[in-house]
Amino acid sequence: MHELSLIHGLLELITASAKVHDIKQVSLIRLVVGEYYGALPEALNFAFEAVTRDTICEGAVLELVATAGRELYVDYYEGD
């Protein structure tokens, strides 16, 4: 359930950064998620699809990188 909140945070972060870089459409986001956060990939993907509807991230690929630690950050994103 907290996956939804995490994706909200992700969208906020990307939207703010995309504005600075004048990016209108995001195509890929690489998110590093540590095991510590107990976030399930399926739930993250589901939340991502739901939350990004009608945003600059709609249709973007969410690339998840699972680690054993306490990381939870956007490594990079791509867009035009």
Residue 41 contacts another protein per CB under 8 A: no
Residue 17 contacts another protein per CB under 8 A: yes
Smallest separation, CB 12 to another protein (Å) = 5
Residue 23 contacts another protein per CB under 8 A: yes
| Interatomic CA distance for residues 40 and 11, integer angstroms | 18
Choose among 35, 26, 25: nearest CA to 63: 26
Binds another protein by CB under 8 A, chosen from 12, 50, 61, 69: 12
Residue 73 contacts another protein per CB under 8 A: yes
Burial (0-12, 13-18, 19+ Cβ within 10 Å), 24: exposed
| Interatomic CA distance for residues 57 and 45, integer angstroms | 13
Residue 74 contacts another protein per CB under 8 A: yes
Binds another protein by CB under 8 A, chosen from 1, 42, 54, 68: 1
